[in-house]
Amino acid sequence: VAIANNCTIISESHNFSDKNIPIKMQGLSPQPVTIGNDVWIGSKVTILGNVKIGNGAIIGAGSVVTKDIPEYAIAVGVPCEVIRYR
């Protein structure tokens, strides 16, 4: 896996179901991120929780990954979308 500079991987989220309790007091829920082998993640990419990036995928610089990316896909954008396959 190659991860360029200034990337963010978010693997948890704040709970906010009770409006009578401040959000910061409601705890966190895990949201795992899985990154396959031979993946290249460009600079300034943000990967949100509950996402799997398949083996051999490429994520373009500045993208925001909000859903699973298939194996060998090249994906870019906000939100990140597959544009073709390697």
Residue 14 bears catalytic tag: yes
Nearest-10 Cα torsion for 31, 36, 39, 42: 0
Place of tokens 């500045």: 62
d(CA 23, CA 85): 40
Which residue from 25, 26, 60 is spatially nearest to 40, judged by alpha carbons? Answer: 60
d(CA 69, CA 7): 17
Given the residues 6, 8, 14, 26, the one annotated as active site: 14
Which residues are catalytic, by number?
14
